[in-house]
Structure 1
Amino acid sequence: MEVNVLGPLAVEEQGASIVPSARKPRQVLALLALHADKVVTVPMLMEEVWGDDVPRSAATTLQTYILQLRRLISAALAGDPGRQAKDVLVTQHGGYLLEVRPGRNDAEEFHRLAAAGRHAFDAGQDRRASELLGRGLDLWRGPALVDVPVGRVAELEVLGLEETRRGVLERRIEADLRLGRHRELLGELRVLTTRFPLDENLCMQQMLALYRSGNAWRALEAFHALRRTLNRDLGLEPSMRVQRLQQAILRGDPGLDVGPDASSFDRVVA
């Protein structure tokens, strides 16, 4: 079994897709895939599919959806007499479990690489951190479960995945800035700050990359663009960290330059 949720839903057994086309069985499979190798309770599945409007026939209907999924799995297992659908989509006390072999679950692999990259980053191993975090980000093929009409249970899981993705992305950019890759980051940061115009961390990274690339005036423009957006949309001023970065750029603080001491920038804006 191979499970991919970081983009369109893709669940395959021996190369054959077991993703149903019908909406509700697809929702059931998506939630099982998000919790691969963990028991998903019947109440969770019912809430995902029906929300607060759970019909009296929900238990029977849910069993029908599970049966449909097992039929798809059985068809994919036709050449493997040693395994049955019930060995893959397992009935557990109070729920169901989708069994996935280690290394065949993209969300699990993403979290593994993110944790390893974070550890390398905290240890000052910036090149390794950038590599590990970049590999994790490369697993994404679009928004998580982009082709599934998720219910409120899966929606929270998807939001968590997307938030983790943003954090990993910002940490990878920070590692690249430490490595002096500011020029290579300019295009990526321009896209990201356009997409997330209220994100102060991304704006600060863009300001630093622009300053180090010899474009202090553009760095200051980025600050004022953030300030206008925050004022217009939220009635707020940029945080003190962003304002301290602006002041450091205005005075040409040497702590903003690339150097062996990666913490110098943090001291400038602290």
Structure 2
Amino acid sequence: MRVRLLGPLHVSHAGIAITPVARRPQQILALLLLNHAQVVPLSTLIDELWDGHTPKTARAAVQTYVFELRKKFARATGRSTDAVGEQILRTTRNGYVFVADLSQFDLRAFRWLEQTGAVAMADGDLATAAHNFRAALALWQGPALADVDPGPSIRAELAGLQQSRAMMLGHRIELELRAGRHREILGELADLASHDRFNEELQAQFIIALYRSGERTRALEAFHGLRREMVGKFGLEPSPKLQQCYQAVLNSEPLPDRMPVLPLPGEPSVPPPPRELSWGPWSTWSTSA
């Protein structure tokens, strides 16, 4: 079974799409997949679907939605609904849990690459860390669960995911700059900087990449443009880090060549690799799957 959450919700088995169309079954399936192999309490599902405006029929409605999901999985997999209830979408004492063995699951691959990349950074293997981060970010096909109308639980999960993605992107760019790949990522940085105007770490990375690429005038213009916007909108000057970067560029100093923008994180623990990562599923995903 293939599951994609980092973009529009997509679930398929042997080429047969299983993704529900109706809003509430979508929410239930999305929340169960976000918590794959973990029990999601019935109360959490009810709050997700009705966000504090719970009807008296909520418990029965959730049971009906789950039964409809099981029927979809049964048709796609050729199993009975009872088998689906045991092997794919299981009822527990206080909720439900999605237990199917997933051959490809983009969120699990993303998390594993994120953690192994962080370990590689801690070990000083910056090339491997950058490679893993590039692979993890390439799994995204747009905003996570882009076509799902989220309730409170899914919104919280998505906020955490987006934070992880943004942090990983910042570290990946930092690694690229430390590896001297400023010219290769300059176009990407220009696009990112234009869409995230007040991310000062990103703007500092952009200015450094411009300067190292021989674009001193553009680097100075980038700082002045950002400063005008910050003063005009917030009444604030750029951060000391950005001002230090600007002064170095202004004086044609070598400082930006050795100036780190983001500190590298400490070493986390590494979980056992998920089964599908032994053959690198992030390189085989198809948007038409």
Q: What's the TM-score once normalised by structure 1's chain length?
A: 0.91
Higher alpha-carbon deviation: 231-240 or 193-202? 231-240
Amino acid at match of 1:25: P
CA–CA distance in 2 between the matches of 1:265 and 1:51?
A: 47
Contact in 1 for aligned 2:89/2:100 (Cα 8 Å): no
> Where do 4+ consecutive residues of structure 1 move more than 4 Å?
none
CA–CA distance in 2 between the matches of 1:100 and 1:84?
A: 11
Higher alpha-carbon deviation: 25-34 or 15-24? 15-24
Amino acid at match of 1:5: L
- CA positional deviation for 1:102: 5.9
CA–CA distance in 2 between the matches of 1:31 and 1:230?
A: 38
- SS of the aligned residue for 1:96 comes to strand
- CA positional deviation for 1:103: 5.8
CA–CA distance in 2 between the matches of 1:256 and 1:213?
A: 11
Matching residue of 1:124 = 124
User: CA RMSD, aligned part only?
Assistant: 2.0
Q: After the TM superposition, which residues 69-108 of structure 1 pair with which residues of structure 2 at under 5 Å, given as runs? A: 69-78=69-78, 84-86=83-85, 87-101=87-101, 104-108=104-108
- SS of the aligned residue for 1:61 comes to helix
Summarize the Cα distance change of 1:184–1:123 in structure 2 as closer, same or farther, 3 Å threshold. same
- SS of the aligned residue for 2:104 comes to coil
Paired residues in the alignment total 261
CA–CA distance in 1 between the matches of 2:260 and 2:137?
A: 25
- CA positional deviation for 1:231: 2.0
CA–CA distance in 1 between the matches of 2:190 and 2:43?
A: 44
Contact in 2 for aligned 1:186/1:206 (Cα 8 Å): yes
Runs of 5+ in structure 2 lacking a partner? 264-289
Higher alpha-carbon deviation: 242-251 or 68-77? 242-251
Contact in 2 for aligned 1:18/1:72 (Cα 8 Å): yes
Contact in 2 for aligned 1:2/1:100 (Cα 8 Å): no
CA–CA distance in 2 between the matches of 1:107 and 1:229?
A: 36
- SS of the aligned residue for 1:12 comes to strand
Matching residue of 1:30 = 30
CA–CA distance in 1 between the matches of 2:135 and 2:36?
A: 21
Q: After the TM superposition, which residues 216-235 of structure 1 pair with which residues of structure 2 at under 5 Å, given as runs? A: 216-235=216-235
CA–CA distance in 2 between the matches of 1:245 and 1:92?
A: 56
Show CA shifts across 1:134-158 (max 9, x none): 0000110110000111112101111
Summarize the Cα distance change of 1:122–1:253 in structure 2 as closer, same or farther, 3 Å threshold. farther
Q: After the TM superposition, which residues 40-51 of structure 1 pair with which residues of structure 2 at under 5 Å, given as runs? A: 40-51=40-51
- CA positional deviation for 1:163: 1.3
Show CA shifts across 1:139-189 (max 9, x none): 101100001111121011111111111111111111111111111111101
- CA positional deviation for 1:205: 0.7
Contact in 2 for aligned 1:8/1:144 (Cα 8 Å): yes
Matching residue of 2:3 = 3
Q: After the TM superposition, which residues 139-158 of structure 1 pair with which residues of structure 2 at under 5 Å, given as runs? A: 139-158=139-158
- SS of the aligned residue for 1:162 comes to helix
- SS of the aligned residue for 1:7 comes to coil
Higher alpha-carbon deviation: 39-48 or 234-243? 234-243
Contact in 1 for aligned 2:174/2:260 (Cα 8 Å): no
Contact in 1 for aligned 2:9/2:146 (Cα 8 Å): yes
Contact in 1 for aligned 2:2/2:102 (Cα 8 Å): no
CA–CA distance in 2 between the matches of 1:159 and 1:195?
A: 19
Contact in 2 for aligned 1:9/1:147 (Cα 8 Å): yes
Runs of 5+ in structure 1 lacking a partner? 258-263
Contact in 1 for aligned 2:7/2:140 (Cα 8 Å): yes
Matching residue of 2:251 = 251
Amino acid at match of 1:88: I
Matching residue of 2:240 = 240
Matching residue of 1:67 = 67
Matching residue of 2:190 = 190
Contact in 1 for aligned 2:3/2:11 (Cα 8 Å): yes
- CA positional deviation for 1:127: 1.5
Summarize the Cα distance change of 1:229–1:100 in structure 2 as closer, same or farther, 3 Å threshold. farther
Q: What's the TM-score once normalised by structure 2's chain length?
A: 0.85
Amino acid at match of 1:214: G
Summarize the Cα distance change of 1:103–1:130 in structure 2 as closer, same or farther, 3 Å threshold. farther
Identical columns (%): 40
Match of 1:265 among 251, 256, 259: 259
- SS of the aligned residue for 1:141 comes to coil
